[in-house]
Structure 1
Amino acid sequence: MVDEIIRKLTRKYKTSCPFELARALGIHIRYTDLGKSTKGLYYRKLRRRFIVIHNQLSPEWQRFVCAHELGHDRLHKGINRFFLEEHSYFAPGKLERQANRFAILLLTAGITVRQEETSLDVCRRSGIPPEMHPLLEGMSLK
């Protein structure tokens, strides 16, 4: 499912850049100080969609966060996290894992993984923060 969403997005807009995709989809990107523990967030207000990115992150992290939040837009439409935490057994951690997977697949779209490459090598080559390399190890990239 995620692969298909990314394939359609990158084919339609001819880019895998999360910033360009967000603009093409009408999502407003804002930068602000979100404190030490928050890298970014996604929200809707009055039919407008926003991605907010912590302004003190490196460009590499800002790109990853934008891709992650774009994942929430594409995969989790209309889901209220507070509602999930308070009124269901659906773990919000799952939503974050799905958004991370979306970000990794988007940022590696069009990249062929070489046989000798490690997940850390793929991160470096595709501009994914090296701290995210453990997530690549469990994924099959094409």
Structure 2
Amino acid sequence: MISKQASTLPRRLLRRYGASDPFELADCLGITILECHDFKLQKGAFKVILNNCFIFINANLSTEMKKLVCAHELGHALLHRPLGKTDTGLMEFELFDITNTTEYEANLFAANLLLDEEEIDSLAREGFDIVQIAHNLGTNVNLPLLKLQQINSDNHLHLPDMPSRNFLGTISDDAGHL
């Protein structure tokens, strides 16, 4: 069962802090972000150390991908804190591996945090297809697809094409380029 908080919490954070930038929100919430230069394939991680939350991000990623990774890990920090207390924490090699509930919720949190529903709706009404919407938003096509899937689920509609369940793990670092 997918937690409703994955879609409602980003809206509450936006209202409370007036920001949707995951780096700014992490700072407001007392979550430390560290860039790691020794990550090779790993994109990010979330870990609780001595009751302090840390998000680790691969320093070699593009600015767009760092933002996406940070939003995903922030989702873990807020939705799955107990998992960050394990020996390994939550390590991300494939961010959009949504084959399990934990990863799906972190991805849904990121989509709801980073993408404005009204902006997507406006672009769609102007006749933009999903690829053009993603390009205009500077993100990979799967992120708005995930957001649309959630919108349609809330409204009991049906979209014919849903995002691949492991798309973040399979996309390259140039997240804004298709």
CA contact (8 A) 2:72 2:109 kept: yes
Gaps of 5+ in 2: 89-97, 153-178
1:22 matches 2:26: yes
Given the alignment of the two structures, is residue 97 of structure 1 paired with residue 88 of structure 2, yes or no?
no
Aligned to 2:93: none
RMSD: 2.7
SS in 2 for 1:138: helix
Matching residue within 124, 129, 139 for 2:140: 129
- On the 8 A contact 2:134/2:141 being kept in 1, the answer is yes
The farther-off stretch of 74-83 and 106-115 is 74-83
The CA deviation at 1:7 is: 1.3
Q: Please report how far the alpha carbon of residue 82 of structure 1 lies from its aligned counterpart in structure 2 after TM superposition.
A: 7.4
* Residues 64 and 129, structure 1, Cα contact 8 Å, conserved in 2: no
Structure 1 consecutive aligned stretches of length 4 or more whose deviation exceeds 4 Å: 80-83, 130-134
Structure 1 pair 110–92 and aligned structure 2 pair: CA distance change class (3 A): closer
Report whether the alignment pairs 1:72 with 2:76: yes
CA distance in 2, matches of 1:110, 1:71: 18
- Find the aligned partners of 1:139 and 1:92 in 2 and give their Cα distance: 16
User: Which residue number corresponds to residue 114 of structure 2?
Assistant: 107
Distance 2:102 2:77 in 1: 11
TM-score (norm 2): 0.65
Return the letter of the residue paired with 2:63.
P
The corresponding residue for 2:39 is 34
* 1:117 aligns to 2:122 (yes or no): no
Hey, what does 1:3 align to over in structure 2?
Answer: 7
Residue identity opposite 1:10 in structure 2: L
Tell me what 1:87 maps to. Answer: none
| TM-fit CA distance, 1:109 | 3.3
Amino acid at match of 2:108: R
Contact 1:107 1:126 in 2 (8 A): no
Deviates more, 1:2-11 or 1:73-82: 73-82
What TM-score comes out, normalization by structure 1 length? 0.79
Query: In structure 1, how many angstroms separate the alpha carbons of the residues matched to 2:75 and 2:143?
Result: 16
Asked if the contact 2:115–2:147 (Cα under 8 Å) also holds between the matched residues in 1, the reply is: no
